[in-house]
């Protein structure tokens, strides 16, 4: 194993905090990974990793070497990618907001993988902000305003939002004609914020300003699909991106409420670690996802 390959092995072990997980990521035997780190430490004359029965983590020297390795490996990939006809390759790990990915990303994914046949894509799904470095993830696609200052956020879309209820809910509670009418016995389906742990309020635009409304919630959830399903069962009012409910609006499963006071559009962002140079495969993925949202038109212009 040459020095650059050894650097790649070390970087993955340092990020994953595990020889076994790093070996799985790289498609190598665990013994090969262990031996590569042993030889690397022997050649450098320093201890790069602290090993216990429960965890593997970089030493202070290991942290410094890790950041140097990131810069060197990124420069190598950039140099190799500068030649005409050389396309990015290797494992690309992304974490996505599932509903958003199924609507905007997955339908065009075969075209991306045709354009870059040597990229091996691993796509995990979640709503929380993953620890990119610890989990070996290259970038994440998220809905909402990014809060983590350690991440670079590239905004790719603004999603129009809509307030909804099912016909069965309206038969029971009536249709509110004004925001003030919401306090007259109406209920919402609660959605737990991963940032605060509390329930997100309903948000309405009133004379150019935001007005928050928190209603009693018979049920609260922490997943988008359950949120929509509960509303279809008549359990309360919800607010979601319009694309998510467009089909149900057409079929009459949902009725739009208070259209003159719509919720503010919600940003969609791609996030990646601030202290990590982008590899060519991450860069082409970021550019491709951005172009897919722009091409779709709907999520960027604030309309339905």
Looking at residue 238, its pLDDT comes to 97
Give the mean pLDDT per block of 10 residues along the chain (304 residues): 90 88 88 94 93 84 88 77 70 84 89 91 74 73 74 88 97 96 96 80 91 94 90 96 91 96 90 75 90 69 38
Residue labelled with tokens 């109406």: 186
Query: Can you give the pLDDT at residue 83?
Result: 64
CA distance 285 to 88: 10
The structure tokens listed for 295 are 């091409």
What is the rounded CA–CA span in Å between residue 186 and residue 204? 15
pLDDT of residue 300: 41
Give Cβ neighbours of residue 52 (< 8 Å, ≥ 6 apart): none
Which residue bears the tokens 């790719």? 156
Tokens representing residue 22 in the block = 């790093």
- Give me the pLDDT at residue 273, please: 78
Number of neighbouring beta carbons within 10 Å of residue 225: 11
Per-residue pLDDT at 102: 86
E-assigned strand segments in 88-127: 90-96, 119-125
Flag whether the pTM goes above 0.85. Answer: no
Tokens of 49: 């990793």
Coil, strand or helix at 138: coil
Domains of the chain: 3-81 (1.10.10.10), 90-154+276-296 (3.40.190.10), 161-264 (3.40.190.10)
**Residue 237 and residue 231: Cα distance in Å, rounded?**
6
Look at residue 304 in the predicted model and tell me its pLDDT: 32
Max Cα distance, the chain (Å):
75
Query: What is the structure's pLDDT at 251?
Result: 96
Please check whether residue 214 is in contact with residue 239, taking contact to mean a CB–CB distance below 8 angstroms. no
């Amino acid at each position: 194993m040459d020095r650059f390959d050894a650097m790649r092995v070390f970087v993955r072990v340092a990020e994953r905090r595990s020889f076994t997980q790093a070996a799985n990521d790289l498609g190598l035997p665990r013994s090969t990974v262990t031996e590569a780190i042993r030889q690397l430490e022997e050649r450098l004359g320093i201890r790069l990793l602290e090993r216990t029965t429960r965890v593997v983590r970089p030493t202070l020297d290991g942290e410094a070497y890790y950041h140097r390795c990131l810069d060197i490996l990124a420069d190598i990939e950039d140099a190799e990618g500068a030649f005409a006809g050389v396309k990015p390759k290797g494992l690309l790990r992304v974490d996505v907001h599932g509903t958003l990915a199924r609507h905007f990303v997955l339908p065009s994914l075969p075209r991306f993988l045709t354009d870059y046949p040597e990229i091996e894509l691993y796509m995990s799904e979640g709503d929380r902000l993953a620890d990119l470095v610890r989990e070996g993830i290259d970038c994440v696609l998220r809905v909402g305003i990014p809060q983590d200052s350690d991440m670079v956020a590239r905004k790719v879309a603004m999603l129009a939002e809509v307030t909804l209820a099912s016909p069965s809910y309206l038969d029971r509670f009536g249709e509110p004609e004004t925001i003030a009418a919401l306090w007259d016995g109406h209920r919402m389906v609660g959605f737990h914020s991963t940032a605060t742990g509390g329930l997100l309020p309903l948000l309405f635009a009133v004379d150019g300003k935001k007005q928050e409304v928190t209603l009693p919630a018979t049920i609260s959830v922490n997943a988008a699909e359950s949120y929509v399903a509960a509303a279809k069962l008549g359990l309360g009012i919800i607010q979601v991106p319009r694309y998510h409910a467009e089909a149900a609006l057409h079929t009459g499963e949902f009725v739009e409420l208070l259209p003159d006071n719509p919720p503010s559009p919600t940003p969609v962002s791609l996030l990646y670690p601030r202290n990590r140079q982008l590899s060519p495969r991450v860069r082409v993925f970021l550019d491709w996802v951005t172009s897919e949202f722009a091409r779709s038109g709907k999520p960027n212009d604030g309309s339905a």
